[in-house]
Structure 1
């Protein structure tokens, strides 16, 4: 999502300056590659790049081809075969072992151009699906490109209604939206087309309860990832927007009213770090019934046990579901010392939990790093 946000911002700036642009997207990967399907990069006519489609080795060649796309105003499918040991044939040092298909689309003033669909994804703030159609069978054929956006409220934005397989595309997009797993699907018209039906996850929202100095590095690291940050504290002198420039919202509130300022969904993580025991007890009493996926609590385990015991004595039943959402002491065990390293461990744990991962070294992972999306013929 961070890449999509950066691309939209870069496009808006280029549009203001009257620059023409193109969007490159990795639509299919066979074998291994640095970036997977769904990676994007915006290219301006003067060579500015936002996002990435590789580790840096394909960008130069993609820039040259994007300028041709901008000039001709026609999408272009480009394939890089890195399975050949002789990378010099491509003029790039790839160091990968796969077949990478990249679609480059011109961004024109069409109401539903690819960037406008990306904006719909950002504004949606929930799960969504993007559909990009291309043909590897006939590269000279018309490449339809990114033609459909489907959001969780079933709002449809499309420019491919005239395609003979549009209804099938829409049905498959609905399935991906329900399953939260991208698919690659083949369709037959006069020639064979492939659709990359991409599931796009929502933006992570981080709510930091506590505006002390140790919250500052946490906001900085989370902002690098593009997370939406809210800082909450009952002390006006601490909850000062000037202290947290990367936070979208800084709220001064009593614990009983704090949640009224926050939209909570399955991608909202809370970190309680007020160093105020009574504030955190009161807030946790409000928070647990709402069932956010992650509640991190800074401090020793004895403090957490005392908080939970006090809440249970007050009549709140600590169910297994509620306890499973609480992470305390907060963060992964990486030997953190100091607020910056603690912030790093907290962000890493949140990302692991929301991605349903265990947070151990990839060295010990026996399966592929990335989830492989379904291929349906």
Structure 2
């Protein structure tokens, strides 16, 4: 989501400067690559790049082709075969061992719901969305439909610049969007066995929201790392002198008050992590009690295990009996075991644990993983 935010912001700057631009999107990967489908890069006519479609290996060539797209105002599908032993033609030994298909589309401001407009709508709220991009990898010189639909439970937006979609294609898109929303991961699927069209049906979740209860100095490195990740942040504390935008410039919402006043303004969802870091047992307890039942996936408690045990005992005394599923979303002491000591190391440990939990993964060394490290988006429909 951070990449989408950066691309939308860069496009707005380009528009103000009167510069045309194009959007490059990885729509399919056969084998391995540094970036997966959904990776994007905005290219302006003066060569400014925002985002990335590789580890830096393909950007130079993609820049030249994007400027051709800007000039012609016609989309282009480009394929890079990094399985070729002679990959020096890209200017560097890639070592990715994959075939990467990249769709480059001109961004025409006069076109309603152009690709950037659809991306911008992904940032308007915390609703899960699906972006559908249709491409023809067998006939690359043919007209590419491109990024054409944004769908969610409340949105059905079509790129008016693309060829009008037939009723059957729109029905196909809605069916696949429902499937992707249900499974919560992207797929790449043939549109019709009679035609060479394929659809990249991309799941776009809401950004992770980090609710920080506590504004001590040890929270500062946590906000810095979360900002690098592109997470939304809410900071709350009962001490107004601590909740200072100068100390926490990356935070988007600041809350000051009693636990009850803070709780009234919190709206945690399935992409929210809450961490209790006030170093005030009673304040943490009131927040923990007020958030029950826990409908969000991660509640982190700073401090030793005995502190969490005492918090749970107090909840039981208050008449709140936690079930096993509710206990499973509470992490205390919070963080992965990476040998963290300093506040910065603890922040890395906590950020890593939150990522693991929200991605429904088990922390392990990638070298010990059997098979590929990424989900295969391909679907043989």
What is the correspondence of 1:96-107 to structure 2 with a 5 Å cutoff? Answer: 96-107=96-107
84-93 vs 4-13, which moves further: 84-93
Mapped pair 1:17 → 2:17: yes
In structure 2, the residue matched to 1:76 is 76
Q: 1:193-215 CA distances to partner (integer Å, 9 max, x unpaired)? A: 11111111210000010000001
Do 1:137 and 1:191's aligned partners in 2 also have CA atoms closer than 8 Å? no
In structure 2, the residue matched to 1:186 is 190
User: How many residue pairs are counted as aligned between the two chains?
Assistant: 376
Distance 1:190 1:353 in 2: 42
In structure 1, the residue matched to 2:129 is 128
Q: 1:312-355 CA distances to partner (integer Å, 9 max, x unpaired)? A: 01211121122111000010000001111101100000000000
In structure 2, the residue matched to 1:47 is 47
- CA drift at 1:90: 4.0
In structure 2, the residue matched to 1:147 is 148
Q: CA RMSD in A?
A: 1.4
The DSSP-based 3-state class of the residue aligned with 1:214 is helix
- CA drift at 1:148: 0.3
Distance 1:70 1:117 in 2: 19
The DSSP-based 3-state class of the residue aligned with 2:376 is coil
Do 2:130 and 2:151's aligned partners in 1 also have CA atoms closer than 8 Å? yes
The counterpart of 2:289, out of the listed 280, 285, 289, is 285
In structure 2, the residue matched to 1:219 is 223
TM-score, with length taken from structure 2: 0.96
Distance 2:205 2:56 in 1: 25
Do 1:291 and 1:325's aligned partners in 2 also have CA atoms closer than 8 Å? no
What is the correspondence of 1:1-377 to structure 2 with a 5 Å cutoff? Answer: 1-109=1-109, 110-151=111-152, 153-159=153-159, 162-164=164-166, 165-188=169-192, 191-377=195-381
The DSSP-based 3-state class of the residue aligned with 2:289 is helix
Do 1:138 and 1:191's aligned partners in 2 also have CA atoms closer than 8 Å? no
TM-score, with length taken from structure 1: 0.97
Do 2:211 and 2:234's aligned partners in 1 also have CA atoms closer than 8 Å? yes
Do 1:183 and 1:376's aligned partners in 2 also have CA atoms closer than 8 Å? no
Distance 2:222 2:42 in 1: 29
Distance 2:154 2:237 in 1: 37
70-79 vs 160-169, which moves further: 160-169
Distance 2:194 2:71 in 1: 28
254-263 vs 154-163, which moves further: 154-163
The DSSP-based 3-state class of the residue aligned with 2:133 is strand
The DSSP-based 3-state class of the residue aligned with 1:102 is strand
Do 1:288 and 1:322's aligned partners in 2 also have CA atoms closer than 8 Å? no
Do 2:57 and 2:91's aligned partners in 1 also have CA atoms closer than 8 Å? no
- CA drift at 1:14: 1.1
The DSSP-based 3-state class of the residue aligned with 2:241 is coil
- CA drift at 1:137: 1.5
Q: 1:107-151 CA distances to partner (integer Å, 9 max, x unpaired)? A: 011111000000111113121100001101211111011000012
The DSSP-based 3-state class of the residue aligned with 1:243 is coil
Do 2:136 and 2:198's aligned partners in 1 also have CA atoms closer than 8 Å? yes
Q: 1:257-313 CA distances to partner (integer Å, 9 max, x unpaired)? A: 212222211001001010001101111000121422100000000111011111101
Distance 2:296 2:245 in 1: 25
Do 1:2 and 1:225's aligned partners in 2 also have CA atoms closer than 8 Å? yes
The DSSP-based 3-state class of the residue aligned with 2:379 is strand
Do 2:43 and 2:66's aligned partners in 1 also have CA atoms closer than 8 Å? yes
The DSSP-based 3-state class of the residue aligned with 1:122 is coil
Distance 1:364 1:191 in 2: 40
The DSSP-based 3-state class of the residue aligned with 1:77 is strand
69-78 vs 10-19, which moves further: 10-19
Do 1:127 and 1:200's aligned partners in 2 also have CA atoms closer than 8 Å? yes
53-62 vs 241-250, which moves further: 241-250
